[in-house]
Structure 1
Amino acid sequence: MTTQSLTTTRQLARRQARVESGRPVWEEEPTRLERLSKPVVLALVALAVTFPLYVVVVTSLSSTEAVTRAGGLVVVPRELTVAAYAQLLSGGVVTRALLISIVITFIGTAFSLGITVLAAYGLSRPGSLFHRPLLFVVLLTFLFGPGIIPSYLVVNALGLIDSYASLILPTAVSAFNLIVMRSFFMGIPSELIDSARIDGAGEFAILRRIVMPLSKAVVAVVGLFYAVGYWNAFFNALLYINDNNKWPLQMVLRTYIVQAQVLPTGAGGIASGTGLGMAPAPSLAIKMAIVVIAIVPVLLVYPFIQRHFTKGVIIGAVKG
């Protein structure tokens, strides 16, 4: 019997055994080729994700000579310097925008998370006031959005133009996050809540002492969703903020990188670097440094929240 016929016979035998046992295909023992190809595919995916980030970081740390020699983005690191970061963080547009983004992200995340927790807990209790109409209104927002012009008219009528509140209030609650958290709350055993009521605990006491300690995973995940949304948001600032001094970091990133506009220098702008004891960084390195500053905070926070994703999101999305 040849090798090819022997392989075909083994495949037919495995297929027949699977049919007789009723096992699906994904529960079959992987072949040698599948076991060998899995790490190769994962390595290629990891390389495709990390290589662009590597190039951005190396370019942001490169000198003018290295950027000129490479003709653009730098792949092989040579003559590394932190001149770009020193110029950006020594005061000016980027430093101010970075502080604004940090404050908006912190306040907005706390505000949105508080409202979402309260609303999700109320909607998860079947006997709560106007439970079904309010839930219907929340689900309706999945199908119909207000649109840009009505949203702008509402913000303008409330006097929030050129106000930091316009960066938080229009997107304070996400219907998706609310439904996920509500589903998670509904999975908490009702016996715990009923026993707390028998002991005389009110709804806020039940939420604080019983529900929240059991919901750390979903709260952490939803909080990360809100934080990333506020950190990366620029469209609200584009619509509602007319004063350049109130721009968050993403607006500066859009203006300087996407639209290729020159940020102001001097007082209130980007420092020239001459007083920092190093040569001024090239324009491309400054652009890549802004990109790094914009993505590093999320990369630092994500590993601490990652372990909660399966329990916080998948369970909350399946149950209820």
Structure 2
Amino acid sequence: MEKVKKVKKTKIKENLGDRLIQAFIYFVVIALCLAIIVPCINVLALSFNDGADAAKGGIYFWPRVFTLDNYKEVFADGKIMKAYSITIGRTVIGTSLSLIVTSLAAFALKEKDLPGRKLITMMITFTMLFSGGMIPTYIQYKNLGLLNSFWVYVIPGMVGVTNLLMVRTFFESIPDSLEESAKLDGCGYFKTYTQIILPLSKPVIAVVGLYTAVGHWNDWFSGAFYMNSSKLWPVQTVLQQMLSRAMASSQEVTTASQAIAQANSAVTSDSLKMAAVIVTTVPILCVYPFVQKYFAKGAMIGAVKG
């Protein structure tokens, strides 16, 4: 047997200009990472620090007077746990239904033999530029019986135009040869959608699903404007109302004794705000590691041979 000759790897020599550009790119990336991480660490430190002590300033990366009073105040109201169940429920149900409807609509719009395809796409795109406004939207929800209902969180946001166009564009990038092969094997539209299109579309489905889930999780507007009862408030609305009350009470100081008591309080509106930010942000951040790989990884590599 002939010995396989080892191929020596030739290193490409980089000139000074290339090294400077690479160093500049590294510097920009590190600076952007620090610009994101440092404020998060500061918020975390302030959330665990005594409110009166935090008002003096000088806290950056570590609490000076450690306390859990801020978090105790956030969870002191029993509504917060009920609100978490509402938020988790709307996020899971809303995201699941949104992905199903959006992907089905995108698959239909990508078919070139769909009657009125261009007109439908134009009408959908038109809604990105113009909307009825808040009052007509409120009246429409009232006529549909969505007010004071859990489904006001789910149904109106079931399809996002931007997400729909994003998914449709990704579906169009899938080679037609795969779909034609499926049809030759006897697959109909639905089987092609479930066994060919969806398995190859995990990256865009993961991205759209993450965007939709974050939108549901961070939404406080729907609970504040479409719910008369606080029993169906999501956690964001509960915390927003809690912070509004705390800020209002801090501005209603009428006597010197009240001012002294508030200045010495372990929980202030600012420290409560930091704890609320951590409480609402950490759970949704836990989702990112599970979908991060789909942001950079493509599923189309090697899908078509020859």
Distance 2:58 2:75 in 1: 22
Instruction: Report the equivalent of 1:62.
Output: 49
Distance 1:258 1:43 in 2: 36
The structural deviation recorded for 1:138 is 1.2
Instruction: Report the equivalent of 2:254.
Output: none
Q: Does 1:239 align with 2:225?
A: yes
| Residue identity in the other structure for 2:163 | N
Is the Cα–Cα contact under 8 Å of residues 104 and 167 in structure 1 kept in the other structure?
A: yes
Instruction: Report the equivalent of 2:11.
Output: none
| Residue identity in the other structure for 1:122 | A
Encode CA deviations 1:130-166: one digit per residue, 9 max, x unaligned.
4233222211112212211111111010111111111
The structural deviation recorded for 1:60 is 1.4
Q: Does 1:282 align with 2:243?
A: no
Distance 1:73 1:103 in 2: 40
* Runs (5+) with no aligned partner, structure 2: 1-14, 250-264, 299-306
Task: Let me know the Cα RMSD of the aligned residues.
Answer: 2.7
User: 1:189/1:41 Cα in 2 relative to 1: closer, same or farther (>3 Å)?
Assistant: closer
Instruction: Report the equivalent of 1:199.
Output: 185
Q: Does 1:300 align with 2:296?
A: no
Distance 1:257 1:34 in 2: 46
Instruction: Report the equivalent of 1:19.
Output: none
Is the Cα–Cα contact under 8 Å of residues 83 and 232 in structure 2 kept in the other structure?
A: yes
User: 1:160/1:286 Cα in 2 relative to 1: closer, same or farther (>3 Å)?
Assistant: same
Provide TM-score, normalisation by structure 2. 0.78
Distance 1:243 1:139 in 2: 35
| Residue identity in the other structure for 1:71 | K
Is the Cα–Cα contact under 8 Å of residues 218 and 311 in structure 1 kept in the other structure?
A: no
Encode CA deviations 1:76-107: one digit per residue, 9 max, x unaligned.
42343434334534661222222211111111
User: 1:215/1:73 Cα in 2 relative to 1: closer, same or farther (>3 Å)?
Assistant: farther
- Among candidates 31, 38, 43, match of residue 51 of structure 1: 38
Is the Cα–Cα contact under 8 Å of residues 84 and 289 in structure 1 kept in the other structure?
A: yes
Aligned residue-pair number: 268
User: 1:214/1:286 Cα in 2 relative to 1: closer, same or farther (>3 Å)?
Assistant: same
- Among candidates 163, 167, 171, match of residue 177 of structure 1: 163
The structural deviation recorded for 1:29 is 6.3
Is the Cα–Cα contact under 8 Å of residues 60 and 285 in structure 1 kept in the other structure?
A: yes
User: 1:69/1:255 Cα in 2 relative to 1: closer, same or farther (>3 Å)?
Assistant: closer
Secondary structure of 1:142's aligned partner: helix
* Runs (5+) with no aligned partner, structure 1: 1-27, 263-279, 313-320
Secondary structure of 2:148's aligned partner: coil
User: Which is worse superposed, 163-172 or 114-123?
Assistant: 163-172
Is the Cα–Cα contact under 8 Å of residues 56 and 73 in structure 1 kept in the other structure?
A: no
Q: Does 1:254 align with 2:266?
A: no
Is the Cα–Cα contact under 8 Å of residues 59 and 73 in structure 1 kept in the other structure?
A: no
Distance 1:70 1:154 in 2: 46
The structural deviation recorded for 1:218 is 0.7
The structural deviation recorded for 1:203 is 1.3
Secondary structure of 1:127's aligned partner: coil
- Once the two structures are superposed, the pairs formed by residues 50-199 of structure 1 within 5 Å of their partners are 50-63=37-50, 67-68=52-53, 70-71=55-56, 74-75=59-60, 76-89=62-75, 92-199=78-185
User: 1:29/1:247 Cα in 2 relative to 1: closer, same or farther (>3 Å)?
Assistant: farther
Provide TM-score, normalisation by structure 1. 0.74
The structural deviation recorded for 1:183 is 0.8
Encode CA deviations 1:235-262: one digit per residue, 9 max, x unaligned.
2222211112221122123223356256
User: 1:188/1:172 Cα in 2 relative to 1: closer, same or farther (>3 Å)?
Assistant: same
User: Which is worse superposed, 82-91 or 138-147?
Assistant: 82-91
Distance 1:40 1:83 in 2: 39
User: 1:35/1:130 Cα in 2 relative to 1: closer, same or farther (>3 Å)?
Assistant: closer
Distance 1:281 1:204 in 2: 60
Is the Cα–Cα contact under 8 Å of residues 220 and 308 in structure 1 kept in the other structure?
A: yes
